[in-house]
Amino acid sequence: MINKVLKILLISLIHFAMVSAVTWMGLWMIEGGSLETGVKSFLSPVFVWGSRILYFPVVTLSLFPRNLFPGGMVYVPIVLNSLIWGICVYIFFYLVLERKLPSQREGVGEGKLTH
């Protein structure tokens, strides 16, 4: 049980790091980085779409009134979103990998030939 929880937390942590990186790099490219060169980067739309995908199902923080999450509490919806992603990814891999692997192991070591 602890192993499952740790896997979910690790997936959630990776998701949270990806959300943070994509958000800040996207904002930098759209607002700051592209202004220095005078040319809008072709990667800007990639980061915008990446952030939309990673923020799903909490698509945007504008869904929440700002006064509910003052200061650093604004990360609460993002952390909850990352936990949702962690649980969903873990369940997906459990359903896909754990259910497939036992069926692939059936003939191994029993002298059966599979063609």
Residue 40 is classified by DSSP as -
**Tens of pLDDT, residues 27-49:** 777 666 555 555 566 777 777 78
CA distance to 70, 82, 89, 105, per residue, from 52 (Å): 23, 13, 17, 39
pLDDT band at 98 (very low <50, low <70, confident <90, very high): confident
- Annotated domain spans of the chain: 2-99
The predicted pLDDT at position 13 comes to 93
